[in-house]
Chain A
Amino acid sequence: MRMSKTMLLAVLALGVLAMTVAASCQRGGAGAGGSQKKIALSISTLNNPFFIGLRDGAQKAAKDSNVKLEVSDAQNDASQQQDDIQNFVTQQFDAILVNPVDSKAIVPAIKAANNANVPVIALDRGADGGKIATVIASDNVQGGEMAGKELAKLVGSGNVAQLEGIPGTAPARDRGEGFKKAMDAQSSLKLVASQTANFDRNEGLNVAQNILQANQAIKGIFAQNDEMALGAVQALKDRAGSDVKVVGFDGVDDALKAIKDGKMNSTIAQQPDKMGALGVENAMKVIDGKSVKKSIPVDVKLVTKDNVSDFLK
């Protein structure tokens, strides 16, 4: 028993040491200015290049305007995010940027921040309650419609399919709504299959394969994000981009490369880094007591082979 207690202590000590090292690595660069503003950023997940871009944009803007920015990753867990935000409130941050895992589940955390008079700004997704200074997000409906029109232009006429995102999430809903609007407005394209692949590349591959099996004459695919579009490209092999047109959404690096190589035709580029930067800039305005607009749309842009080089870094 004594032995195991010693072991336990040793393990705990090791754990504390590891945390200290990890923490000091994280904090390495931060200056120790006395009146430096502190902004917190709670991200839904860093398990996705899009949100990495958002974080990078915010970090760059923070560095440029000499603010301290602390980032937490909720790993797509709404309760984890609530804890993260509560910790930020306790640590008396000057403002909190939140990219909600879930628009409903985030409400209690926002109210907690409201009660402590810490301003909250929502990024990419809004919140269903609480007081938000501003929501900074892409216009997903507009983007979905843009994608639908582009697909119609590329395909001309014939059967098309859609790969949907995670059922019930706002981006899946909005992009689907915009795409449907574009489909309803014309008559030469027929949407013969619409299936979810959960925003995932592997599922995009499998589901596209199955859709193609059931619908031999598919001439175009719209995927509600680039990851699924890239999966569809794998499923189509040589036919991708030529016989079957592929339009994605987000504008991640791999998709831009695929467009350059002609395997994908278009994507709707979001600007996650701009979203992150706008978050920090507007947080500074709110801290300084200036007024900001209730919602700040971040433009989406159509990327094709012609302008892809502007987006590739």
Chain B
Amino acid sequence: MSSIARRINPRGLVSRSGPLGGLILLCIVMTILSPYFLTFNNAFNVGTQIAVVAILALGQTFVIVSGGIDLSVGSVLGLSGIVFGWATAVANQPLPLALALGLGAGAVAGLTNGVLITLGNLPPFIATLAMLSAARGLALVISGGQPLNPIPGVIQTLGSGDLFGFVPLPVILMLIMWALTIGILRSTYPGRCMYAIGGNEEASRLSGINVSRQKLFIYTLSGFFAAIAGVLLAARLASAQPQAGFTFELDAIAAVVIGGASLAGGVGTASGTLVGALILGVLRNGLNLLNVSAFWQQVVIGVVIALAVMTDTLRRRK
């Protein structure tokens, strides 16, 4: 399908406007309820707060579009952050090397997922569940369970600095990763393979796609995105935490699915995922602004996730 044809495809339009409509509705409600919600400052607050999960979710989008699932992203985030933190704070390595090690650790963990799935013939759910445990364990082993710091000043700036004095750098990084994801999904061969494999793996194989090689790439990419998120989180906290990213995989998967992707594969967009992450972020932010009690917050978040995905599927059925 040519890219123009896909852009005007009515189904594609609906699946993109569905979650966006939900986000707008949510923002209207929050604006009515809290005078502090609709301000530039708060918008950037939400942006910085979702950046880490959004980057994880963008990586997860590749996997879910191809019909897989990556449960390990939260732990891989933690492992990458710790490897980076260890290299810079404990082993005193120069920053570029520390960054390469941190990001490399995430990519290797992702590649290992891919190997387990393709060569080891494990279902993605199991392979990445195993990595969820192993990567978290390694993060604890390397760090001895302690937070590692200091994180170099340049990287701290990435976590808490602004561009032009008001656009937070984590938001910029998130937008770069978003653009990168759009580019990969829409305009590269591996990107189109992801939709093909998610749509029908056997047909993809018969039409000459090297499915195994593509899967290795897909899971490596997801691990790499998780590593970027890991370094960003360490930058925001000015410290690499061994428990960083604990249960983030659930938020990441929720963001992708709220964004209109199907867990059955073949459907999903980068923009949808970003909107999904924004819905979760706006919700948490708004509930804090309103000083809603902790017990009720969890109920509200659950209800909104269910509603968001339900309205989307109902719309698409029409």
Is B289 a contact of A49 with CB atoms below 8 Å?
A: no
Is A48 a contact of B291 with CB atoms below 8 Å?
A: no
**Total B residues in contact with A, Cβ cutoff 8 Å:** 37
Is B36 a contact of A214 with CB atoms below 8 Å?
A: yes
Q: Across the interface, name the chain A residue whose C-beta is closest to B156.
A: A234
Query: A148: shortest Cβ distance to chain B, in Å?
Result: 19
Is A210 a contact of B289 with CB atoms below 8 Å?
A: yes
- Asked if B128 lies at the interface with its beta carbon under 8 angstroms from chain A, I say no
In the complex where A213-B42, A231-B237, A234-B236 touch, is A206 in contact with B284 (Cβ < 8 A)? Answer: yes
- Asked if A225 lies at the interface with its beta carbon under 8 angstroms from chain B, I say no
Per the bound structure, the CA–CA distance linking A211 and B45 in Å amounts to 11
Q: Which residues of B contact A211 (CB under 8 A)?
A: 288
In the complex where A210-B45, A234-B160, A237-B160 touch, is A47 in contact with B140 (Cβ < 8 A)? Answer: yes
Within 8 A of A (CB), among B192-246: 233, 236-239, 241-244, 246
- Asked if A52 lies at the interface with its beta carbon under 8 angstroms from chain B, I say yes
Per the bound structure, the CA–CA distance linking A113 and B68 in Å amounts to 44
Chief secondary structure at chain B's binding surface: helix
Q: Across the interface, name the chain B residue whose C-beta is closest to A195.
A: B288
- Asked if B311 lies at the interface with its beta carbon under 8 angstroms from chain A, I say no
Among A51, A52, A167, A202, chain B packs the most CB atoms within 10 A around the CB of A202
In the complex where A52-B145, A231-B237 touch, is A214 in contact with B291 (Cβ < 8 A)? Answer: yes
- Asked if B146 lies at the interface with its beta carbon under 8 angstroms from chain A, I say yes
Is A49 a contact of B145 with CB atoms below 8 Å?
A: yes
Is A213 a contact of B36 with CB atoms below 8 Å?
A: yes
Q: Which residues of B contact A254 (CB under 8 A)?
A: 147, 149, 239
**Total A residues in contact with B, Cβ cutoff 8 Å:** 30
Is A206 a contact of B149 with CB atoms below 8 Å?
A: no
Give a binary string over A150-178; 1 marks a CB under 8 Å from any B CB, 0 the rest.
Answer: 00000000000000100110000000000
Q: Which residues of A contact B242 (CB under 8 A)?
A: 47
Q: Across the interface, name the chain A residue whose C-beta is closest to B284.
A: A206
Residue in B49, B237, B246, B285 whose CB lies within 8 Å of A230: B237
Per the bound structure, the CA–CA distance linking A205 and B39 in Å amounts to 19
Interface Cβ pair total, 8 Å cutoff = 83
- Asked if B8 lies at the interface with its beta carbon under 8 angstroms from chain A, I say no
Query: B286: shortest Cβ distance to chain A, in Å?
Result: 9
Residue in A167, A205, A214 whose CB lies within 8 Å of B237: A205
Is A196 a contact of B294 with CB atoms below 8 Å?
A: yes
Within 8 A of B (CB), among A14-67: 46-49, 51-52
Q: Which residues of B contact A202 (CB under 8 A)?
A: 52, 233, 236-237, 241, 244
Q: Across the interface, name the chain A residue whose C-beta is closest to B50.
A: A206
Among B45, B236, B237, B285, chain A packs the most CB atoms within 10 A around the CB of B237
Is A205 a contact of B236 with CB atoms below 8 Å?
A: yes
Query: B29: shortest Cβ distance to chain A, in Å?
Result: 16
Query: A56: shortest Cβ distance to chain B, in Å?
Result: 10
- Asked if B302 lies at the interface with its beta carbon under 8 angstroms from chain A, I say no
- Asked if B41 lies at the interface with its beta carbon under 8 angstroms from chain A, I say yes
Q: Across the interface, name the chain B residue whose C-beta is closest to A161.
A: B291
Per the bound structure, the CA–CA distance linking A254 and B238 in Å amounts to 11
Q: Which residues of B contact A205 (CB under 8 A)?
A: 236-237
Give a binary string over B279-317; 1 marks a CB under 8 Å from any A CB, 0 the rest.
Answer: 000001100111100110110000000000000000000
Q: Which residues of B contact A92 (CB under 8 A)?
A: none
Query: A224: shortest Cβ distance to chain B, in Å?
Result: 12
Between-chain CB contacts (< 8 Å), 29 pairs = A46-B140, A46-B145, A47-B136, A47-B145, A48-B145, A49-B146, A52-B144, A52-B145, A164-B294, A168-B295, A196-B294, A196-B297, A200-B246, A202-B236, A206-B284, A206-B285, A207-B288, A209-B45, A210-B288, A213-B36, A213-B39, A213-B41, A213-B285, A214-B34, A214-B288, A230-B237, A231-B237, A234-B160, A254-B239
**A-B CB proximity, top 3 nearest:** A210-B288, A196-B294, A167-B294
